[in-house]
Chains A and B, each alone.
Chain A
């Protein structure tokens, strides 16, 4: 019992730290593409510490506080279900549909908080976020169906184990199509540029985030960092073969090697997202909905059909 608790705490700490590093990497790489130097890589940590140490906190009621905790909690819960190499708490129950669902819950939590603030910008942002959420469901569902169809199971851990023997998912044509669709969806889940409709800096002043400040914003930053970690981890688990390394004799070395391999795969996923986000401008909300229901859906559906043949 205590061991499980300790393990969960370690996973949360690791995910938060790596997630903040990912946020730093996003800023650094974006800056390099713009020919700037950019902030140091640990900048998001400093930002979050500053947010958390603000003296004044504005609150608009219970739901406003609860929504943010809700978002953070959902992300942590999702993290518990995703297999992190050989270490995980509830990987036996790590269902594809459950994890996909849990990764979208945070957006709902932020919506709760934003809507209860009564700010019209937050309202518009929430509306856009919900439409994005609606739009990404279709290709996401097809991608999950393709995976489940191909491997004959919904369990993420079994999919990872199956890839140990049969090679990575993206080397099979139907799953490659699903991976492409999922990667496009990932752009919206990260809230990165072509589909950052819900935040839309400069268009609707920060959308749902417009009313947050102080500790609320700090918790949201932590949630964002963990979300980044969880989403990249999920993608590299189901499409890039995860990692369960047993080459060394010592279990600690094995675990460290597993984490390192996973980190490289997560970074690859993240870098593609950064590159796409730096070179493509933002879609309007109707364009995004049309886009998601057109190309990624077609690609993912094709993958699902091919997988079931």
Chain B
């Protein structure tokens, strides 16, 4: 694990210039999505162009500035993080507040829980969501159950765990996973996934200040690719609330993270070439999730397509499909469709065939319409 991480991203990337990386990535595998920026954020005030890692950095800086008890820790966060999310924070706020930990995920999660229980605002980083599993016990058995089991005497609500997730073009088995469904099965946790810089900043600040332990999975493909006019002010966006990004009448498409952009593109093609109007929903929050917005939409359109990168079986799409079936039974004109990664590990050279591409989504949407 250590070898993968360090050799793959830390050791080599600082020596390569950015342009070079971008060119080689492009040659290896062209991106499977086109980023669609948030049209106009409802947040007032000054805005600056930021990509997603800069927006996250800005949120973390805001957290450190506004909360003297906030600390940031994890593997390699001191020099700025392997994805640059913690850039300059140690310089500004000191080694006591932004620091490297030993290379041990269960330690990072346990340490974060304890720090939060004793009053710190603990912001932990797991270098890749793929490496969160050694911390699974601490997150599922401890963090999630801390308040419940003590009768609300103790809690670790001031804990937030950030982890880069999702496909990145060439990440293979251990730099591509989307583990949200594992955590969606755990009462006591909150799980969110941003689709871009504005959302990432607002959600992260909400999670840091939320009274419950939160997991933020950040699609790493968006760190540099997603650029938006991000509000400079200190703002928060709600956990548990989905966003309707595009209104439509024939079909409801539901996704999160990078997949939202795949769905946006698919919906445009469906409209242009097939005259099908899709409603596109970013679920944003996996736990708790916005049942009302999703089911209200499906009741109107009569058709639902759910798409996620994670494997099909017991993926979070299954939860959505079951609930939609329950709440919208009389309105459904076709079975609920799921376009997901196959039930295989995430492969290296086969990534283009693994992903729930816009073509697979379009194909499935047409089947729903013609059902």
Is this pair of chains taken from one and the same complex?
A: no
A interface, CB within 8 angstroms of B: none
B interface, CB within 8 angstroms of A: none
